[in-house]
Structure 1
Amino acid sequence: METVSPNIFVTDIKQTIDFYKQLGFNVVATVPEQGDIVWAMMTCGNVTFMFQTFDSLGNDLPVISRQNGGSLLLYIQTTEIRKFFDQIKDNVNVVKGLEKTFYGATEFSIEDNNGYLLTFAEDEK
C-alpha cells in the first residue's frame, strides 16, 4: 500500500470546493469536466481528498449513510501550523484552537461545511 485518498460524500459539492479552496486545496479533476459536478478531486501538498455528491450514488453502496458529518476525523499533518491557523481561523468554524498535545504535536481542529472534523497537526521541534 502506498496512499489513502478518502472519498467524502457531500450534499453540495460546489460549496465544498469553495470551502476547501480556503484551506489551500486545488481542484485537479472533476466529473463531468464541465456542468453540474458530481465528483471532484482536490489536493494540497501530499494530501488528496475526493468529494462526491450523495445524489450521484443512486442506489449503489446502500451501506453509506446519506447524511453529512459523522464519526470521522481527518488528521492532516502540516507545516507552519501557526501561520496556517492565523490565515483561516476567521473564515472557518474552529472547534478546538491551537494547543500542544501530550504527545508533542501542535494541533487545531475545525468543522468543514459538511460537518466533518479536520484536525491539523505539526510536530514542532
Structure 2
Amino acid sequence: MQSISPNLFVRDILLSIAFYEKLGFKKVMTVPEAAPYVWAMLESGSVNIMLQTLESLGTELPEIQRDKTGGSLLLYIKREEVTSFFESIRGKVTVLKGLEKTFYGATEFTIIDTDGYVLTFAADE
C-alpha cells in the first residue's frame, strides 16, 4: 500500500469545497472541469481528500449510503504547527474539541465539516 485518499460523499459539493479551502486545501481536479461538479479532489501538503455527490454514483454502488446526520468517520490528520493552525481557523469552523495535550503526547483539536464529518488535527509537540 502507498496511500489512502478518503472520498467523502457530500450534499453540496461547492459548500464542501469552500469549507476545505478554509482549512488550506486547494482544488486540484474536478469532474466536470466547470461547475456544477459531481466530484473534486483537494490537497494540502501530502493529504488528499475527494468529495463526491451521491447522485453521481447512480446505481453503480448502492451499498454506499448516507443519512442526513453525517458520516461515522473521523479523519485524523497530522500536521506541523497545529496550535497556530487552530488559531487561524477557529472562528471560521465549528470546533467540537479545543486544543489539548493527549496522554499519548499529541497536541490536537477536533472540528466538524458541513456534512457532519469529524476531523482531528494533531501534531507531536
TM bucket by the smaller chain? over 0.9
Q: Alpha-carbon deviation of 1:59?
A: 1.5
User: Which residue is 1:56 aligned to?
Assistant: 56
CA distance in 2, matches of 1:74, 1:66: 17
The amino acid across from 1:105 in the alignment is A
User: Which residue is 2:43 aligned to?
Assistant: 43
Q: Alpha-carbon deviation of 1:70?
A: 2.1
CA distance in 2, matches of 1:10, 1:32: 16
The amino acid across from 2:66 in the alignment is R
TM-score relative to the length of structure 1 = 0.96
TM-score relative to the length of structure 2 = 0.96
Q: How does 1:20-39 map to 2 (within 5 A)?
A: 20-39=20-39
CA distance in 1, matches of 2:99, 2:29: 32
User: Which residue is 1:87 aligned to?
Assistant: 88
CA distance in 1, matches of 2:115, 2:35: 22
How many residues align? The count is 124
Q: Tell me which stretches of 4 or more aligned residues in structure 1 moved more than 4 Å.
A: none
The amino acid across from 1:91 in the alignment is K
**1:80-106 per-position Cα deviation (integer Å, ceiling 9, x unaligned):** 111000000011110000000010000
* Gaps in structure 1 of 5+ consecutive residues: none
User: Which residue is 1:12 aligned to?
Assistant: 12
CA distance in 2, matches of 1:41, 1:115: 19
| Other structure's SS at 1:85 match | helix
Q: Alpha-carbon deviation of 1:113?
A: 0.7
The amino acid across from 1:52 in the alignment is Q
CA distance in 2, matches of 1:98, 1:123: 13
Q: Alpha-carbon deviation of 1:66?
A: 2.8
What do you get for the CA RMSD once the two structures are aligned? 0.9
